[in-house]
Amino acid sequence: MERAGSFPTVRPRRLRTTPAMRRMVAEHRVHPADLILPAFVREGVGEPVPIATMPGVVQHSLDSLRKAAGEAAEAGVAGIMLFGVPEEEKKDAVGSPGTDPDGILQRGLRAVRAETGDALVVMSDLCLDEVTDHGHCGVLDARGEVDNDATLARYAEMALVQAEAGAQVLGPSGMMDGQVGHVRAALDAAGHRDVSLLAYTVKYASAFYGPFREAVNSSLTGDRKAYQQDPPNAREALRELALDLAEGADLVMVKPGLPYLDILRQIADASPVPVAAYQISGEYAMVEAAAERGWLDRERAIEETLTSFKRAGADLVLTYWATEFARRWGRDGR
């Protein structure tokens, strides 16, 4: 009990008095080893191509991709997730560039592995949206709808060429039922038992993907609401988690990040495997746009958003600021 005249004796502010004090009692920290850098590699370009809706992010040439991967490794970033952007005329209804051993994603994987070896965990996006002329994450049936089971067969083929190109982690991101188990079986049958699967377990049909469409030169018309998760639903996320774990997922992901911190917390509480959050293009673009207008402190906003993922339970965060933040972490001696 407080004694009369002595209030307040309990003063939480005592632990907020100096930067050193706040650092000492911080409950959550973001470390470079928690971060994964998403990167785009574009076919047919000799120089990086800026992405207008994502200031500071580019579609890499193979040479600039090698440089970016080396810089990420040097900064202490944990991994890099590659997305391939083929030439438009090579796209078709079944996403042939995705299974071409010489497709741009596979060439990018080989280039990064040659540049960084095992200093960086090399990951690849396992989906058809970047390589189909219709822009959907799967092959279409006669009615123009995504055929779940026919798509699984294509994912299995893609998984093999990505593994053979040097990917250490594959990210099945299309939200097809059974995708993790089907890809796992194909990898194991081909002898790729050490290749891990980062399941896009909870991927919502979100408005925040907008800038990503430019980043991968998307051909999509319509939407992906028939296969990505519906934003109002939460219990469904736990059902997806149970299925992916049963099918052999090594890591799981929640995407987007900031609008779904409540879902991230539920997945983190329930998951026996590491959990990632993807800070997606729209989240990145909002901060960059507001900072450019002087509406917020950019560096503080970046750190605050990344910390929110850790506080909500993420073990890993995919963020376009990965290398920048890791360098600042080293500079500030945290």
DSSP 146-193: B-HHHHHHHHHHHHHHHHHTT-SEEEE-S--TTHHHHHHHHHHHTT-T
Q: Are strands 169-172 and 79-85 parallel, antiparallel or unpaired?
A: unpaired
* Residue-level pLDDT at 217: 63
Alpha-carbon distance of 182 to 212, in angstroms, equals 27
* Residue-level pLDDT at 230: 94
Integer angstrom CA distances of residue 203 from 7, 23, 36, 113, 199: 49, 34, 17, 28, 10
Q: For residue 81, what are its two tokens?
A: 């997730």
Alpha-carbon distance of 228 to 205, in angstroms, equals 5
Q: Which helix (H) or strand (E) holds 203?
A: strand 196-203
Domain residue spans of the chain: 29-332
Q: Which of 90, 91, 203, 225 is catalytic?
A: 203
* Residue-level pLDDT at 4: 58
- Which residues of the chain, if any, have pLDDT below 50? none
Alpha-carbon distance of 13 to 229, in angstroms, equals 42
Per residue in 52-61, pLDDT (tens digit) is 999 999 999 9
Q: Which amino acid is at 13?
A: R
Q: Which of 67, 90, 225, 255 is catalytic?
A: 255
Residue 159 near residue 170 (C-beta atoms within 8 A): yes
Q: Which helix (H) or strand (E) holds 235?
A: helix 235-247
Q: Angle, to 10 degrees, between the axis of helix 322-332 and the axis of helix 62-75?
A: 30
Q: For residue 157, what are its two tokens?
A: 């083929």
Say how many CA atoms lie within 13 Å of 313 toward its Cβ.
Answer: 19
Integer angstrom CA distances of residue 89 from 48, 92, 200, 212: 20, 8, 29, 20
Residue 157 near residue 101 (C-beta atoms within 8 A): no
Q: Which helix (H) or strand (E) holds 119?
A: none
Alpha-carbon distance of 113 to 229, in angstroms, equals 33
CA-based nearest residue to 316, from 248, 260, 255, 233: 255
Q: For residue 267, what are its two tokens?
A: 């997945």
Say how many CA atoms lie within 13 Å of 281 toward its Cβ.
Answer: 20
* Residue-level pLDDT at 201: 97
Q: Angle, to 10 degrees, between the axis of helix 104-116 and the axis of helix 62-75?
A: 40
CA-based nearest residue to 162, from 131, 133, 203: 131
* Residue-level pLDDT at 209: 84
Task: Let me know if 91 is a catalytic residue.
Answer: no
Q: For residue 14, what are its two tokens?
A: 């005592």
**CATH number of this structure's domain 29-332:** 3.20.20.70
